[in-house]
Amino acid sequence: MTANESFAGTVPAALISAPGSGQGKSLITAALARLHRNAGRRVRVFKFGPDYLDPMVLERASGAPVYQLQPWMTGEAECRWRLAEAATQADLILAEGAMGLFDGTPSSADLAVLAGIPAIPVIDAWGMAQTFGAVALGLARYRDDLTVREVIANRVASPRHGDLLAEGLPADLTLLGAVPRHEAMTLPERHLGLVQAGELDDLDQRLDQAAAVLAEAGLDRLPAPVTFNAPRPAPPPRLLEGKRIGVARDAAFAFLYPANLDLLRDLGAELHFFSPLADTTLPAVDALWLAGGYPELHGAALAANTALRETIRAHHQAAKPILAECGGLMSCLETVVDGDDEAHQGFGLLPGTARLTRKLQGLGMHALRLGDHELRGHTFHHATLENAPAAQLFSEKQSGTGGEPVFVKNGLVASFFHGYFPSSPTLVASILEGRFPPSQ
């Protein structure tokens, strides 16, 4: 396929959403993916908006990488071509929404309309009977350009409860399935969301059990086919040709978008993964990427790995590039204080302390803007900084005021801001080549 050709395909597809957070859409999306995968179908799942944890579970459920779709962060064109590319390979496409169906600008509904796919709301039916129909009706009628034909009832108490829910729906809405209250329909969580998929030894068993619950509830029917067609994107310039980039990847540093890794490879970089928890030295690399994750949960182990800390410090002292995002920023400070108020030694590339708090400190869509360059992404963290140096730059909120500080020191670029690399390949390359900020 050449750059001016298109991806095209017709495949059953749906956006799984909800009236709001906490309705159970994440596990139902994962269970649907596993249900159809177990039936021998090729399943592709996408996640609306910025998220690292749900996609880990969705990837295990479907057996395929999970990419982000968010018209502002990834761009509308990318949303279209990723879906169209998936349609050439898959027997089913599912997209998991974020928050409520109409929450945010853009919202999950905006993605459904952009992509031409129907939305299937998951509605927590606990404590409801006929009112379930009113909620479903409101979701279906709120926007004329959005297609909602089916809904899923979650946490249903009994078959009779399910019958009442179905009877209360308007004639043009169908109850796709009534999912009972069941221990298989839960996954453990912590302060940033679901526990990482790699930390759950029984995750595949849990997903198979959840899929069986959905099959029993009648959710094994495929959604309607959707036709996708979009041009293949032009490849980016090889701005990182021959550069060797060390990428931290383990239980403490795991927030890595597949699209970011793809972009670095497309720019010509060689990626070399290492574990700050287990490895005692760095691979031979030109630059480092310390992605987000949970360094605060592994503070003692990271502090005890003195050999790797000294290697990272030597890399920094040599003014070699380091990109540190969120948890990566926290680990670069002198001290990291965890949720139990225990202090642990950080890498010491920046003065100050990163302290985990119970209260959410940053949430929303942000961009790092420098001249004509704009790297889009988001922030989501429970940490504060104490006695940190003055920031050289700040990210900007998509809407509202205030941004995340960006620290630039001797090749290090560190912030709570998580970037979506394909939104600005040139800016990302400038960071990892050590010429940040780029010339205008």
Tell me the C-alpha distance between 405 and 382, whole Å: 15
Q: Where do the H-state alpha helices sit in 198-275? A: 203-216, 258-266
Q: What is the dihedral of CA 193, 196, 199, 204, to 10 degrees?
A: 100
Tell me the C-alpha distance between 32 and 150, whole Å: 15
Q: Are strands 150-156 and 119-124 parallel, antiparallel or unpaired?
A: parallel
Catalytic residue (choose from 326, 354, 365, 414): 326
* DSSP 8-class letter at 181: P
Query: For residue 78, how far is the Cα from the chain centroid?
Result: 16
Comparing CA positions, the residue from 287, 343, 291, 337 lying closest to residue 312 is 287
Dig out the tokens for 56 from the structure: 């880990």
Residue 143 neighbours by CB distance under 10 Å? 17
Tell me the C-alpha distance between 180 and 161, whole Å: 10
Tell me the C-alpha distance between 152 and 15, whole Å: 12
Q: Count Cα neighbours of 416 within 13 Å in the Cβ-side half-sphere.
A: 25
> Which residues pair with residue 355 across a beta bridge?
337, 384
Comparing CA positions, the residue from 331, 329, 324 lying closest to residue 301 is 331
* DSSP 8-class letter at 101: T
Comparing CA positions, the residue from 359, 317, 356 lying closest to residue 336 is 356
Dig out the tokens for 109 from the structure: 């509904």
C-alpha pair distances (Å), 193 with each of 126, 171, 345: 22, 37, 26
> Would you say 178 and 217 are in contact if contact means Cβ atoms under 8 Å apart?
yes
Residue 79 appears among annotated catalytic residues: no
268: alpha, beta or left, given left = phi > 0 and alpha = psi -120 to 50? left
Comparing CA positions, the residue from 208, 22, 154, 11 lying closest to residue 94 is 11
Q: Active-site residues: which are they? A: 326
